Amino acid sequence: MDEAAILFGILLALLALFGLPIWALVRTFRIKELETRLAGVEAALLRVTREFERRSPASAATTAPPAPPSEAAAVEERPGAVPLDAPAAPPPPPEFVPPPAPPQPAGPRWEEIIGERWLGWVGISTLLFGAAFFLKYAFENQWIGELGRVLIGVVVALAFLWFGGKKRADGWTTFGQIFTAGGVILLYLSIYASYGFYSLMPAGAAFAFMALVVVLAHLLAVFYPAPAIAVMGQVGGILTPVLLSTGTDRYGVLFSYLTLLAGGALLVAVWRQWRWIAVISFGITHLMYWAWYADNYHPEKAWAAVAFQTALFVLFLAGDLLPTFRGRKLTPSNWVLLFLNPFFYFGALYVILDDEAPFWAGPAAMALAAVYAFLAKTALSHKDEEGRLPWALVAVALLFVTLAIPIQLEAEWITLAWGIQGAVLAWMASRMPEPGWRFGSGLALGLALFHQLVFDWAWGYRGVFTPVFNADFLGALGVAACLLAATWFLRDRDRHFALATAFAAILLTWLAGSLEIIHHYERLAREIPYESYDARRSIEWTGGMALSVLWAVYATALVAGGMRFSKPLLRWTGLALFGLTVLKAFFVDIPALEGFYRVIALITVGVLLLAVGWGYQRMSRRNLEAAQS
């Protein structure tokens, strides 16, 4: 008796859960259909009435008996009689002009959009949530067996699919799409639960059935055509393992399932050119993966995670590039995936490899750079596809090279590698018209300069080192050499770029030499005992004098180079440095230095200033003589 009561209660619950909402929706749409038909009948009746009123005077005139001959006719018959004026003919009836159509409301019909579409989608979503929680509640309370739960889900899903197809055939497009999407999601729930949680079928059969559901969902979206079905299929497919979660990590099933979902989305995106669906699938798939990673990742699952990420990377890369090789232009969605896909993939690899095998993180970045360089070469050989694609692929490849440098190298080698990369890109920019090469060169050189100034140099305390022959100074000279190489390569192609890199090289060299002198004499002063005050003072004075002499010599070299090669940038930079040197001599050296150190600093600066002044006078005389001749 108890079992019968329970079964009866279950049937009533199923009837209330599925039957009543369906009946209510059907009744609502039937009433709306009747109202539409009634309005059509009223409009037709109004047109018939107006047509009858228009034609009734004319018909009366045609059916009237002929009138007897008038006196005017008799007069006309008599010869010499003056005819009387005949009465005017009745005017023709006015042509029928149909009444103007009622004005359509401007803008979107929000009431119909909300009533016809949004309410239906929200209703079917609520219904599916209720079904999922009902099945879960029934399972927890042992109302229905595992097989019964799955069969109920499959039967209701097939009923939804049949009802949605029937309504679409009857002209109820939106209504049919709503129930079709609901049937697809119920199939997801049922088949995923049958293996992932109840183990009612082997892995091969479950995978085959799930593949069929994915194909069915996206084929329905393609042939209806209905993007909403594809979106609901993706969202419902992602929510299926979440709603039916029991806490057991079946990551193999999950990864295979997510790969199938992504493949279905790409099929629809390529077939119907709904590229934005691929972006939605990309986002929710990666969101699902990182949620799994946060809760369930273990080093034993590393290779499965790498295989899953690789499959996703290949799928989205193929879905993004294959249409372009068929002559189609890239859409904004394609451009988004073109840049997001490789970096999401590398981010997932780096997180795994950094813990398990850090040595392979750099080679992984270089391997991706090689893949995108090959794709760029392949894209260049096709003349009909998107013209910007090869250079975008080259940019991705260069970004991975830039990432591989700090991952694989250490300290000063990172800076030098970025500098060399910037110089190579500048050389390529000198031979290719695309501005992206100059941008890449500037980015790499800027990274090298930033890393040198912020991470490589010790601005404060510095331990024991060999002056000049140390990593800090030689690394700075290497970066300066790369900057000068970029200046030379682009001296004719981009004058502003060449001036910027030349000035950066001058500034870097000046700072490197100044820091060498300051740190060297500070180290010598620290090695002298604190009690030897005079010796410490002597070392400090020597360092101050050497710094002033270095600045003056460097400024002289800049001015001389500017005169020799006719480069105003060098001359102006040298003059600015001379001004800084003079300020240091009068406001720092004279108060701080004493004795012979002050004399050497001032005399050196003065002699070099005179030499530069003589050089300017000589240059002026030459210019004047050249103008006169």
Provide the mean pLDDT of the chain. 77
State whether the Cα torsion 281-285-288-290 is positive or negative.
Answer: negative
State whether the Cα torsion 572-618-622-550 is positive or negative.
Answer: negative
pLDDT the model gives residue 244: 60
pLDDT the model gives residue 119: 65
Give the side-chain half-sphere CA count within 13 A for 13. Answer: 16
CA distance 209 to 206: 5
CA distance 518 to 621: 40
CA distance 136 to 453: 61
pTM of model > 0.85? no
Which residues of the chain fall short of a pLDDT of 70? Answer: 1-35, 54-125, 127-128, 131-132, 134-144, 197, 203-204, 207, 211, 236, 240, 243-246, 325-327, 383-387, 411-412, 594-597
Helix (H) or strand (E) holding 111: helix 110-112
CA distance 484 to 526: 36
pLDDT the model gives residue 369: 92
pLDDT the model gives residue 238: 77
The residues, any chain, with a CB within 8 Å of residue 48's CB and separated by 6 or more, are: none
Using CA atoms, how far residue 393 sits from 195, 320, 338, 489, in Å, is 41, 12, 8, 24
pLDDT the model gives residue 121: 58
Kindly write down the DSSP assignment for every residue of 63-81, as one continuous string: HSPPPPPPHHHHHHHSTTP
pLDDT the model gives residue 368: 93
**Tokens, residue 130:** 């209720």
pLDDT the model gives residue 17: 44
Q: 481 in the Ramachandran plot: left (φ > 0), alpha (ψ -120 to 50) or beta?
A: alpha
Kindly write down the DSSP assignment for every residue of 414-430, as one continuous string: HHHHHHHHHHHHHHHHT
CA distance 304 to 585: 68
In the 3-class helix/strand/coil scheme, how is 277-325 assigned residue by residue? HHHHHHHHHHHHHHHHHHHHCCHHHHHHHHHHHHHHHHHHHHHHHHHHH
CB 339 within 8 A of CB 396: yes
CA distance 359 to 343: 19
CA distance 100 to 67: 41
